[in-house]
Structure 1
């Protein structure tokens, strides 16, 4: 588990971790394939599923769940495996789909070359040396720091490339006729009118003060709400540049770096390019033909499923383009004048078509001009390497049996002992305690360390160094004493009583509406002080999409408005009260005069149809290969992991 916590928070590790997460998350959309045999009796106990000759083991699932938990904890440090219950089946299916991809590629001789994988590895920032180029030593240091093996990194990169080269072209070939999209465009213009009332909880808070007996009963009935989660006391020893002494770039190193990077400091021509890559030469030729006919490159590539962001590369040097696409492509691009469309030409990733948008001429700098920049870069790199060496030394000392105190003293590390903290970093016994900002993520990231486990080194955010973490004490979860939280329980009791009263009033109002009274008449008849008359509401269905575009949920009363039949009413719970919604009228939409809206629906449907086509491709591949699931083993894994059985490494 420590491996993936570090990887998820490390800048250099993000590029590797995201390959897996994109594979899993993208697969959620197509994770409902059901044409799997439900047997598994012949599979080994630790094999959850088998696709062709590719197996999914319990250890594979453990790794995936650990990574998913690390991702969730970036947003919610208190998350546990129990919070992943809704993701479990989707992750299992996504992993089976990954095995489908591998087994299909092997069966049909579709291999990813080492050159392609190497090209992806060199893009990881942490694998470059002082000269800015790939360094085997830096790569090994990266693997050691992130607790990864070369085989693990290569497997994940190969999986991502297989998905890009096999699944993406399948999904990108869908075309939808405008006539099919028209009903969806019409639906988005549908307009609904009605009325909306709010019964605020504050209007129902009056009444007698709760008695001691009522509070005790409410406390017992809701004891889980008042349970203080597990807490831990940490000892933290920060590892920063202060322990390194004077680390700086020398004059010789600065001069050598300048000479080795003449392409950068001596001046290198750059070309602003747009690029599309596909494994199908004919598809690339079609893009090239459209691009040469005029218009923007993005418009020429759009029919092949590319967005403007997908094809925009920006300014690159010849060396950078060689790394990305190969020497043959770079030679043609850097010999062509601005405005030229190059391709189709075979590259290291398939077939390319590239447009030279503009040319930026070289502008060199002297050593004196570049000295400060080079010195800062080399010094930062030397300090990064030096602190990585120090971290390695500390971890070696821990592996040799040294204690937290011995390691902290030997390396002159300042130590902070925290009070008992929850996973979120709160101190129940010391509510005013605040962790230093650089340690804010430490409790959540380190809550799986046991009191008897050896200390671990965790990275700090914003290049703040590292921290050596030791768990000094573990306090199990337990209910807080009623006497200590009596004011909170009283507030919660009054709030719950108000909610019950508001719901009872809502039921009475809805009953009157069902008998034919208007919502305004029924609300007025309820006679609740503080409740305003209903307001008119009028909305098009398409407006609901704006909430999703802004990353927001559709408010419950608006969502209900578009589920009701005319004349019907329904309630919706809100954070401050109960909403009552009544639908009066529905006006069907007509998109005949809005071709842009229809075109937008065509795009949306092509995207959805592409996902469906990818699903069908996977279903066909699984049918060809044969898939077996060991349901007993999957159920056992679910119980073990979601029940807290999965332990940190």
Structure 2
């Protein structure tokens, strides 16, 4: 655990300074932004008052709701998380509620009132409360409240707190300035070096011989039921409305033939003709051109007396559609009815009298219907399946709108229904480690956990053109402690850990008491009568605290909080044992030899001083309003919410 103290590494001072001040100087600003406020419900009180803050109260119901939301957040990352997993947040969440109540009480005392219209505007600005037209929508708002599991009053109170923070706290904390003299003092502190010793008493060493009875396990389980709460599980019914539901839809032979004929230019190809043409306004002139052409003259020569050059009469290859657009349907019909080499005309059109020579007939060169059939069938099948899927979707939605149940709607549409096992909100199943709901059904999973058991089924759009899914809730398995019989081994291991930790605490406390009375660490360790790990000698600068690993940082911070020659017992944050920490020598730092560190400290301090001012302002609000805590009620609430086990 303490091996990392031997080789504490160095890093860029700027980063160290910034992180150290964040960790060692500044507490988290409870009302820093709306997202932090959202971690709990700000609704009215209810239940026994745990804390009185001016004219406001923090009730057990509010704290319980705040803890429930924190648990839900934790379970999004780890579905097996329980109240025991977030026990460390109890104090911080309670304090955040105290801060909020102090702010509201201060605002009331000093005439800071927010109009309903202002809060309405904040609600309307939330994207989740808008309809498809971008405007506030009652149905969207109701769905948002249901998804967040809060009431209108709770949301409004939450927004009031956020607005009060913005209007009252923020102005007191902006534009903080840190003098160089202050920065130098903290830079000196960062360079301060300490030498000390640390003795580890691991709980693992005291497990031997611990064998709980049935009574021990039952008693421990009863006292710590909240540690073994299984999060809510749901059994969902899902029916896919995807391409597979309409896979049997195929085009008929008649539809394929009709498509081929309608798109003959694409598939069958078209006959083209190389055409020469002269158009004149006088029929006699047209008869002359035709007579000369039929007499054997080249068409260009036949048309020359009428004033045409060779380029004027040469049209090149034309299909029927192209030539019809140029000369009109009557002329085109005549031209495409003649044989190769024929002289056609004169033929009258709106343009005048046409004389035409068919220079060459080029037969169509496209694919036959048989050759193009497969391609056309694939195209038509895709289009028909899209239409069929849309029709199927409309049918299902109409069934639901008419009051049909999930089973009735699925049966009417002949959909295949899948019933999941009991699953958590992340799609995993407690009873089947291999089960995980497919990723593409994530929208259906989210919808299923937002619905109540008696809600109508919903049709959800799936991503990546995967179609749709009909979703319903079959049943809800409420969050509850797992039966002792199912988790007996875990409870047994937890009991052993607790007793081993108690033994380790007793030994560590005895060593700490002897060291505090002046006995050396080595002598005190030896007198314990247990083969404990060797004592570690530690030398480090304060700025290296942020370099320590998670196992050692608590003990290292303690060494930098003790006076020279003093010692203290420190518990491992993860309940793995205890450390006796002693500070033997303190060497003050001198930042005058490192002006760059002073500048970096000033910069880092100015970036975070605003948060410190905000915290100090909140502390002043609490002092102004008065805070009275009912320690017994808080302890009882903690027991009811979390349990005594940690």
Normalising by structure 1, what TM-score? Answer: 0.48
After TM superposition, the score normalised by the length of structure 2 is: 0.49
**Bigger Rg, which one:** 2
